[in-house]
Structure 1
Amino acid sequence: MDLFPTIRFAGEMPAGVVLAIALAAAFAVMWYYVRETRTLATPYSYLLPALRGAAVALVIFILAGPVWHRRQVIGTLGKVTFAIDASASMSVTDSTNFEPSESRLRRATRLLEGTPENPGWVPQLSETHEIDVIAYSSGTPVRLWSSGDEESLTASLHLIADGNRSNLASAITSMATEVNSEVLSGDAKPSANAESDHDSSDESETANAAENSQTQTRSALVIMTEGRHNLGPSPVDAARRVGSTAMQVVTLGIGSEDEPSDIGISQVLRPDTVAADGKLTGKLIVKQFGMSGRPLGLRIEHRGETVWQQRIAPDVEGDTEVPFDFDVEPLVKALQNESIRGVSRSAVVLDLRAVIDGAPESDHPRNDLATNQNIMTQNNSMSFRVAASTRDRRLLILDGSSRWETRYLHNLFDRDPAWQVDLVLYGPGTDTATVQRGDQAGQFPATGEAIAKYDAIILGEVPAEQINSTDVMLLRQFVSRGGGLVVVDGRYDRLRPLVQTQLSDLVPVTYPNDTGVIDGGKLEPRGVGLEHPMMLLRPSAGTDIGEVVDQWNRLPEPIYVNKVEAQAGAEVWAQVRQRGDDASPWLVTRLYGAGRVFYFASDQTWRWRYKLADELHARFWNQVLSAVMQPPYSASDSFVALGTDRVEYEVGDRSLIRVRLQGPSGKPLGDATVDALLVAEERVVATVPLSLENPARGTYQGQTPPLEQGEFEIHIRASGFDASALQATTPIWVGTPDHAELRRVGLDKNALVQIAQAGKGRYYHESSAEELLENLKPLSSGSVIESDVLIWQSFYWFWLVIALLTAEWLLRKRAGLV
C-alpha cells in the first residue's frame, strides 16, 4: 500500500527563503524581458517572459534541495503508542550521588530516541510499526510525534516535567478512542497479500471480524511512568475496558521503588472560609522520608509576616499532621484599612504561605548530600488562600419534626460564628402544629425579600398539606436566583407527595409508585461525585479515586433509604450499594436557574459521629453548603457589587463572575451593557461580556475564557458609568501549586502491574527495557519501505528547465526575434 507521497527539502537554506528569492528573480527577469516583447502580438508579449522567468526560478529553487519522499507499506503494520508521563514526579533523578544524573523523564525519552551508538526504540521499530509518541500529565494528552512526521523525533521530545497532577487514565482513554474509531470506521487496512474477494455475506462478515480481531491484537499502548495516579478515574478500570477490544496496555516503570530523601509540605487542610473575628484552624501535612529525627521549623506567613510557627522533629517516615490555629481578626483589620474609601468587602481574602525550614548545620551535623539530601525543594513551601467573611451566612432549616439529623445540623451551624441559623419546626407533634408565615424567627418566609436573606435552605420532611402555592413559588424563586436548597428525605413518607406534585420541577428525583423505604447498604460515590471536593471526607488521604471510594465504604451504613430515581439531566453523586448488585441513588443534584439543589435519600449522616464526633459529619456538611450555594458578593461600592464562584482555580478553569448594578438613586439597573475586565499587572488581559440575569434585581453574570496561570484582579465596566465610579474589585488566583503530585514519588510497581494485567499486557521495569522492545516487534507482520528521489539532482528537473528554454527559443523564432 502506497501512502500519500510528500515533498521535503534538504537544502541548507530554508525552503521559504529560497522560494522568495526564486520568485523575486523570476519577476525581475520578466520585467526586464517584457521591455523587448511589449510590441509583440498576444500571446508572445507575455508568454516569452513567463517561460524565461519560470526557468530561472527552477534553477534557483535547486538551492532548497527538493526531495520526493515515498512511503510504501507491505503487509500489516503494528501500531505502538508511547505515552510519556510529564508530571513533576518525573523530574526526580533517583540518585543520591554528588554528581547530577539524568531525570526520569530524560531517561524515558532517551529510550525512545537512543544515542548515536545505540539506536532507540523508535528508530528500531519505525520500519515495521506505526508509531505515535504522546505526553500526558493532568490535562488532555498532547501528540508529540508520529510516523511520517517531517520533524525529527529528537526535536519533538523537548519536554519539561512540570505537570501538577498525573492522570494515567487519560492516556489510555484517548488512545483507545482513536483505535476503536479506526476499527469501527474500517480505516484499519488488511494485508496487501491477503485475498479480499468473497461471494457470500457470511464469509464477508467473518473476514471483517477477523480483520478487526487482528487489528485489536496489533496495537499496544506503552505507558512510561513512575505509576503515581492522583487525578481522574481509575486507570485500572480504563485499561480493563479497552484491553480486550482495542489494544494491549503495557506499563514501563521508571525509577526506584524507594522513596527518595525529602522533606516538604504535602497539603494544607483548612476551611475555605472563616469568620473575620474567629480563628483559622487547620492542619499541615508534612512529608518526611530519609530524614527521621531532623528538627524542622514550620511557619505560616501572611504577606511576609509570620502569624504562626512551631518546631517539630518527626521520627516516622511518611506523613505527619501538625495542627495550627491563629486569630485572623488582626489580619482582616489590616487589609480593611488598606481598602479604597467607599468600597466595602463582605469577604477579605487572606493570602497565606506555609513554609518548612530545615535545621541549621550546628543542630544537625550530618547535613550532607549523601545522607540527608532534600532532593525536591519546590515542596518546601505552599501558598493557600482563605476567605475571611465579614458577613454572617444565613441558613434556614425547615422540618416537620425534631429528628436527629435536624438537631445535629442545627447545633453544628448554630455554634459556628460565621453562620446565623433560623430553625422552623411545624406540624403534628411539634410546638407549632400549623405553619406560621412572616419575617420573624421561627416563621416560614412570607415574601421574596424575607427568603432572599438566606444563603441556603435545608428542607426536611415538612407536612405537604401545609405547603401552599405561594410557598412553592418562593422556594423556586429562591433557588433560581442563586440560592442553595438541600432536601433531606426521611422514613415518614412526607416528602413524596410534595415532590411528586408541587416540587416536581425543583427536586431532581422521582419516586417509583411501587416502592417506598428500602434497606440501606454501603455508600459509594460515583460519576462527578468521585472527583468533586465536596466528597472528600479526609483530604489528607489525597484525591486518589480508590482512596475516596474506600473512605465512603467505611462509613456507617444507613439503615434505610428512600427508593428514588434521578430525573433526566440530574447527576447521581453517590449511591447505596445493597446486597448483591442492586444500587439506589443516595445523593442526587442538578442546577436550577442560577442555584443548585441537593437531594439526600436518607437522614442518617448523624451516625457518622460515632466515636468521631464532628470529624467527618461537620466537615461533610460544611462542604455540602459550600457546594450548594453561591458565595456572596465579595466587594461592593455605591453602584456595583461583584463576586466570583471561587477564589482559587486550576489552569484551564473558567470563573463565574456575578455583578449587581444600581443607579445613583439605589434602584437596580437592568438595561446596561456590562463587562468584566481581568487585570494582571495593571494590564487588561481579557474582557468578559456579562449577560443580564434578572432585570428587576439588576444582576448580571458571565464566564471567563479558560484561565491561564497567574494572579488577577477583576474590574467592572458598565455603560453610563465613568470608570472611576465603579471602584469595587475582587482578586482571583489561578494555578497555585499544591504539591499533591510530589506527595509520593517512588515507583508504584503494584499499580503498574494491575494496569498492565487489566489491559492484557505486561509490566516491565526500565532495567529490562530491551525485553519490552523484543515483545513489541511481533505486533507487526509488515514493513515500511521509504525511498527518496532527489528532484533537484534528477534528469526530470534538468529536462524541465531545458524544455522551458527550448519552448522559449522556438517561440522567439516564430515571433521573429531570432
Structure 2
Amino acid sequence: MVSFLASIRFAGDLPAWSVAILALLAVVGVVLLYARETRSIRAPYPYLLPALRGTAVALVVFILAGPVWHRRQVIGTLGRVVFAVDTSRSMSLTDSQSETTADNRLQRATASLLGNATEPGWLEQIQKTHAIDVIAFSNSDPVSIWSSDDEAELPTALDWAADGPATNLSRPLQSILSTINLDAATGDSSAGDSSAGDSSASDSSASDSAAGSSDDTIDSVRRAAIVLMTDGRDTDTAKRLERSPPSVAKQLAGGGTSVNTLGFGSVDEPPDVGIVEVIRPETVAAEGKLAGQVIVKQFGRQGEPVLVRIESDGESVWQKSISISNTGQQSVPFEIDVGQIVQTLRSRSPRGIHRTNEVLRLVAIVESNGPDYSADNNVSHFRVAASTRNRRLLIVDGSSRWETRYLKNLFVRDPAWQADVVLFGPGTSSPKLQRGSAPGQFPATADDMAQYDAVLLGEIDASQFTTGDRGLLSRFVAGGGGLVIIDGRFGKLRALAASEFGELMPVRYRGTGTTPMPSRLQATPAGLEQPALGLIDQTDQLDSFWRSLPAPKWSANVELSEGGEVWGETVSDRGTRTPWLATRMYGAGRVFYFASDQTWRWRYKVADRFHARFWNQLVVAAMEPPFSASDQYVSIGTDKVEYRGGESVAVRARLRDVRGNPVADATVDALVMRDGNKIATVPLSVDNPNRGTYAGQVPPLPGGEYSIRIRASGFDESALLASTPIWVTEDDHAEMQRMSLDEDALRQIASAGAGTYIHESDAERMLELLKPLSSGTVIETDTVLWQSYLWFWLIIALLTIEWWCRKRAGLV
C-alpha cells in the first residue's frame, strides 16, 4: 500500500512572508507601468499582459525564499507511538547525592528522545517507520510538543520544564483514549499521514476491534503504543471523579493500543526532610493565639534532631526542635501569640482605610544538619486572617438550661467574641423580658439590633416575645444577620412557630411531643461538605466521627420545610430519621435550627475539644462574612484570603454616599490587580439594596499574590481606596512528599495496558519493543525548485507568451 503527500517548503535566508510582500509590491509595480500602454488596446490584452509579466516577476522574486518541493511517500502501514512525558516538579530531581551537576529525570527523558552528539535519539531512529507524537503532562490537560503528522523537522530541543505542581497519570491516557487515530478498520495505507484526532477513524477502529471481523483488522489495531515516561507518583489531590490509570490503560489495550511504562528515578527513597502541610484555621482573633500543626515528613533520618520554626517578616515567632521518631510523617503542634504581629501590621496601614482583619504572612521552615536530598520542600508559605474586630453575639433564652450555661461560658470567656446574654423567665433574676440598650436587655430598636452579628435564641415564651420583637428579629436576619434557634423540652417554640416567626424556621412541627429516643447522630452528605461540621482534620473519618458523638436524650418531632436543608439528623433504634440540625437562607441571612439542646454532652472526658470548635464554626457560618477593609465610601471583602488553584473568589462590597447612606443603583466592578496592573474586571450584581451590598465571583486565577479593589459609577476611582489582598497557591508539597520511583504503580499500568514496564537503566529495550509495531516506511525527497530547469523554463515561457501577446496587440 502506497500513499503520497507533497508540500512546498522554503529554505531561503529571508522568511516566506517577507518575500511574499516583495513579490506583491513587484506585481503592483508591473500593473501600474503597464497601465500607460494598455489603455487603448482591445480586450483581453489590457488584463492578460500585466498578469503574464506580473507572474513572471513574482516567480523571480520568490527565488529569494528558496522554494523546495517536499515529497513524502508512505509504503505499507505505519505504527503509531505516543511518548507521554511527565513534566511535574518531581521530574526535576537528579537522583544523585553528588554536589556536581547531574541531569535530572526530565533531562534524561529528553536525551532518550533526542539523543546526543554520538548517538541518535528514539525520534530519529523510528521517524521513517512510525507516526510519532510527543506530549507533556502533569496535573492538567496534556500539551502536544511535537508530532510527525505536522511534517515538521525533527526537533533539536523540546519546549518543556519540570514545573508541574502535581502528577495525574490518568490525564494523558484519557486524552489519548479520546483522540488517537489508528485507522484500524480500513487498513488504509495513509494511516501514517492522517491526523491523530480523526474521530471517525477512531470510532471505526473501536467497532471493528470489538467485532473482531478479520485477522487483518486485529493486526492493524495492534499498531499503536503509548510510552508513559514518569516516576510513577500519582500526586494530584484535586482529582474529582476520574478513573484510575490502570482502568484507562485496560480500555486502551482493549482498543488495540498497548500502554508501556518507562520509570525514571531510584526505587529507594533518598534521605530527606520536608514540610508536607501546615494545618491551621483560616481566621484568628487579633488578641488571641494561632494554634495549628506542621506536618513534617522524613526518610532515612531516624533519631536525628530537626528544627521546625515559623517566621513572620523574616523574624522567628515560634520554633521547636524535634527528634525524628520514625519514617514517614510527624505532626508538630504550634501556638503563636499573634497580638504583636497584628500591631506591627496595623502601623503600616494607609490613612483613611480601616481594616477589620490583618493578613498574617507566615512561613514554616524545617532545618537539619544531616543530608537533605531536596531543599524545595523545606519551606511552606501560608496566610491567616487576624480579625481586629470582635464579633458580637446575642444569647437570648427563656430559662437557664445547661446548653445555655455552657454556651454563655464559652462565648463570654472567648476574647474573640463580645457576647451579651439575656436570660429571663422561671429560675432567673428577671421574670419578664426587658427591652433596651443596657446589658441584659433585648434590643429595642433596629439600630441596637444591627450591632450584633448573630443571635442564639432558646425557648422563648410566645406571650413575652411580642410582634414587634419578632419583626425586629426577622428584619435583622433578612438584612444579613445570623440566627441559631435551639429547641427545648418545654415545647415553647411550637407556639412561637405558629406565628409569623415560623417563616424564619427551616423546619415545621408535626404531631405532638418528641421523636423516639435517638440512638445516634449522623451528619448528612450535605453536612459533611460544610466546614462548620468539620470537627476533625481527617475528612475520610468525619462520617464515623459524627456517628460516635453522644446522641441527645430527646429530639423535637419536626420535618423539613420548603427551602430548608438538613445537615445533621437523629437516628432511632428503629431506623427513624428526624432532622436534628437544619438550615435555610432568609433574605441575606442564614437560620440554623437544633431539634435538641444537648451538645453540652460532647464535653464528657474531652472538655471543650469538640464542643467549642463546633459552636465557633457554626456561629461563624451563620454570620454574614465581615468586610476586610473600608474607607469613607466602600467596604470590600472576600470569603477567604488564601485560595487553592482552581477555586473561584467570592467578592462582596458595600457602597455608601457622603452621608453614609447605602447606594444600591451603581454599576460596580471588582478590579483584580497584580503587581500594580489590572488583569481582570468582574461585574458585581446587587446583593441587598437595603444595605447597598454587591456580590460577584472572580474566576479561578493562576498562582500568585493579588489585590482586589472596587470601581463604581458615580465615584471617582481615587476616592475608592480600600482594597483586600488574596493569594492563590498551587500546593506542590504532595508532589515532593515521596521522591522515589513507584515501580509497583507503573507495573500495574503496564500490565493492565498489555504493555511492558522498563526502568530507565534498560531504556533501549523500549525501542526494540516499538520497532515491530510498524510494517511500513516513509521515503522523503526534496526538489530545490528555484534551482531546477522547471522553474527557469516556466519564467521563460511566461515571458515568451507575453511577447507574442504584445505583438498580437500591436505593441511590438
Q: Evaluate the alpha carbon distance shift between residue 439 and residue 744 of structure 1 in structure 2; reply closer, same or farther with a 3 A threshold.
A: farther
Aligned residue number for residue 199 of structure 1: none
In 2, Cα distance between equivalents of 1:402 and 1:790: 99
Which string of whole-angstrom CA distances, capped at 9 and with x for unpartnered residues, describes residues 271-318 of structure 1?
A: 111111111222233333445565554433222333233444546444
Aligned residue number for residue 237 of structure 2: 231
Q: Evaluate the alpha carbon distance shift between residue 291 and residue 34 of structure 1 in structure 2; reply closer, same or farther with a 3 A threshold.
A: farther
TM norm structure 2: 0.75
User: Which shifted more, 659-668 or 146-155?
Assistant: 146-155
Aligned residue number for residue 186 of structure 2: 190
Once the 2 structures are TM-superposed, how far is the Cα of residue 757 of structure 1 from its aligned partner?
5.3
SS in 2 for 1:90: helix
- Write the mapping of 1:467-546 to structure 2, written as runs, cut at 5 A: none
2:389 aligned to 388, 391, 396, which one? 391
SS in 1 for 2:654: strand
Once the 2 structures are TM-superposed, how far is the Cα of residue 490 of structure 1 from its aligned partner?
13
In 1, Cα distance between equivalents of 2:259 and 2:429: 65
- Write the mapping of 1:681-692 to structure 2, written as runs, cut at 5 A: 681-692=675-686
Aligned residue number for residue 701 of structure 1: 695
Aligned residue number for residue 631 of structure 1: 625
SS in 2 for 1:810: helix
Letter in 2 for 1:52: R
Q: Evaluate the alpha carbon distance shift between residue 281 and residue 665 of structure 1 in structure 2; reply closer, same or farther with a 3 A threshold.
A: same
Are 2:314 and 1:304 aligned? Answer: yes
Q: Contact 1:239–1:249 at 8 Å: present in 2 too?
A: no
Aligned residue number for residue 361 of structure 2: 351
1:65 aligned to 61, 64, 67, which one? 67
Letter in 1 for 2:802: E
In 2, Cα distance between equivalents of 1:554 and 1:424: 34
Once the 2 structures are TM-superposed, how far is the Cα of residue 391 of structure 1 from its aligned partner?
1.9
In 1, Cα distance between equivalents of 2:86 and 2:288: 43
SS in 2 for 1:816: coil
In 2, Cα distance between equivalents of 1:593 and 1:660: 17
In 2, Cα distance between equivalents of 1:104 and 1:618: 49
In 2, Cα distance between equivalents of 1:799 and 1:450: 98
Aligned residue number for residue 790 of structure 1: 783
Letter in 1 for 2:389: R
Aligned residue number for residue 195 of structure 2: none
Q: Evaluate the alpha carbon distance shift between residue 376 and residue 475 of structure 1 in structure 2; reply closer, same or farther with a 3 A threshold.
A: farther
Q: Evaluate the alpha carbon distance shift between residue 325 and residue 204 of structure 1 in structure 2; reply closer, same or farther with a 3 A threshold.
A: closer
SS in 2 for 1:17: helix
SS in 1 for 2:85: strand
1:723 aligned to 706, 711, 717, which one? 717
SS in 1 for 2:187: coil
Once the 2 structures are TM-superposed, how far is the Cα of residue 698 of structure 1 from its aligned partner?
1.0
Aligned residue number for residue 540 of structure 2: 549
Which string of whole-angstrom CA distances, capped at 9 and with x for unpartnered residues, describes residues 247-280 of structure 1?
A: 5654433211323233333322221111111112
Which string of whole-angstrom CA distances, capped at 9 and with x for unpartnered residues, describes residues 456-489 of structure 1?
A: 689999999x999999999998888766789999
SS in 2 for 1:741: coil
Which string of whole-angstrom CA distances, capped at 9 and with x for unpartnered residues, describes residues 442-464 of structure 1?
A: 99999987887665689999999
Q: Contact 1:288–1:318 at 8 Å: present in 2 too?
A: yes
Q: Contact 1:223–1:252 at 8 Å: present in 2 too?
A: yes
Q: Contact 2:535–2:614 at 8 Å: present in 1 too?
A: yes
Q: Evaluate the alpha carbon distance shift between residue 442 and residue 528 of structure 1 in structure 2; reply closer, same or farther with a 3 A threshold.
A: same
SS in 2 for 1:51: helix
In 1, Cα distance between equivalents of 2:81 and 2:506: 49
Aligned residue number for residue 644 of structure 1: 638
Q: Evaluate the alpha carbon distance shift between residue 32 and residue 615 of structure 1 in structure 2; reply closer, same or farther with a 3 A threshold.
A: farther
In 1, Cα distance between equivalents of 2:641 and 2:780: 58
Are 2:374 and 1:376 aligned? Answer: yes
User: Which shifted more, 34-43 or 472-481?
Assistant: 472-481
Once the 2 structures are TM-superposed, how far is the Cα of residue 120 of structure 1 from its aligned partner?
3.9
Once the 2 structures are TM-superposed, how far is the Cα of residue 106 of structure 1 from its aligned partner?
1.5
Q: Evaluate the alpha carbon distance shift between residue 246 and residue 608 of structure 1 in structure 2; reply closer, same or farther with a 3 A threshold.
A: farther
User: Which shifted more, 19-28 or 287-296?
Assistant: 287-296
In 2, Cα distance between equivalents of 1:760 and 1:649: 41
Once the 2 structures are TM-superposed, how far is the Cα of residue 800 of structure 1 from its aligned partner?
4.0
Aligned residue number for residue 366 of structure 1: none
Letter in 2 for 1:229: T
Aligned residue number for residue 369 of structure 1: none
User: Which shifted more, 208-217 or 124-133?
Assistant: 208-217
In 1, Cα distance between equivalents of 2:470 and 2:176: 49
Are 2:802 and 1:804 aligned? Answer: no
SS in 2 for 1:679: strand
Letter in 1 for 2:98: N
Letter in 1 for 2:785: W
SS in 2 for 1:378: coil
In 1, Cα distance between equivalents of 2:482 and 2:629: 21
In 2, Cα distance between equivalents of 1:599 and 1:219: 60
In 2, Cα distance between equivalents of 1:11 and 1:93: 42
In 2, Cα distance between equivalents of 1:802 and 1:135: 51
The alignment's C-alpha RMSD in Å is: 5.8
Letter in 2 for 1:286: V
Once the 2 structures are TM-superposed, how far is the Cα of residue 691 of structure 1 from its aligned partner?
2.5
Q: Contact 1:520–1:557 at 8 Å: present in 2 too?
A: no
In 2, Cα distance between equivalents of 1:468 and 1:782: 90
Letter in 1 for 2:238: G
Aligned residue number for residue 363 of structure 1: none
Once the 2 structures are TM-superposed, how far is the Cα of residue 441 of structure 1 from its aligned partner?
9.6
In 2, Cα distance between equivalents of 1:130 and 1:810: 51
Q: Evaluate the alpha carbon distance shift between residue 600 and residue 27 of structure 1 in structure 2; reply closer, same or farther with a 3 A threshold.
A: farther
Letter in 1 for 2:693: T
Letter in 2 for 1:719: S
Q: Evaluate the alpha carbon distance shift between residue 740 and residue 424 of structure 1 in structure 2; reply closer, same or farther with a 3 A threshold.
A: farther
Larger radius of gyration: 2
Q: Contact 1:216–1:246 at 8 Å: present in 2 too?
A: no
User: Which shifted more, 297-306 or 807-816?
Assistant: 297-306
Letter in 2 for 1:225: T
SS in 1 for 2:336: strand
Q: Contact 1:265–1:739 at 8 Å: present in 2 too?
A: yes
- Write the mapping of 1:725-804 to structure 2, written as runs, cut at 5 A: 725-735=719-729, 739-756=733-750, 763-776=757-770, 780=773, 783=776, 785=778, 787-788=780-781, 790=783, 792=785, 797-798=791-792, 800-804=794-798
Once the 2 structures are TM-superposed, how far is the Cα of residue 91 of structure 1 from its aligned partner?
0.9
Which string of whole-angstrom CA distances, capped at 9 and with x for unpartnered residues, describes residues 37-91 of structure 1?
A: 455445433432332222222233243334345465855x665443322222221
Q: Contact 1:239–1:756 at 8 Å: present in 2 too?
A: no
Aligned residue number for residue 285 of structure 1: 295
Once the 2 structures are TM-superposed, how far is the Cα of residue 101 of structure 1 from its aligned partner?
1.3
User: Which shifted more, 794-803 or 348-357?
Assistant: 794-803
Q: Evaluate the alpha carbon distance shift between residue 266 and residue 7 of structure 1 in structure 2; reply closer, same or farther with a 3 A threshold.
A: same
Aligned residue number for residue 198 of structure 2: none
Q: Evaluate the alpha carbon distance shift between residue 815 and residue 410 of structure 1 in structure 2; reply closer, same or farther with a 3 A threshold.
A: farther
- Write the mapping of 1:104-253 to structure 2, written as runs, cut at 5 A: 104-115=105-116, 117-124=118-125, 126=127, 130-152=131-153, 154=155, 157-178=158-179, 189-192=185-188, 209-210=210-211, 221-226=226-231, 227-233=233-239, 237-239=243-245, 241-247=247-253, 249-253=259-263
In 2, Cα distance between equivalents of 1:481 and 1:558: 35
Letter in 1 for 2:688: N
Q: Contact 2:669–2:681 at 8 Å: present in 1 too?
A: yes
In 2, Cα distance between equivalents of 1:132 and 1:604: 64
In 2, Cα distance between equivalents of 1:679 and 1:622: 33
Q: Evaluate the alpha carbon distance shift between residue 781 and residue 670 of structure 1 in structure 2; reply closer, same or farther with a 3 A threshold.
A: same
TM norm structure 1: 0.74
Aligned residue number for residue 339 of structure 1: 349
Q: Contact 1:707–1:734 at 8 Å: present in 2 too?
A: yes
In 1, Cα distance between equivalents of 2:748 and 2:663: 60
Aligned residue number for residue 103 of structure 2: 102
SS in 1 for 2:310: strand
Q: Contact 1:228–1:745 at 8 Å: present in 2 too?
A: no
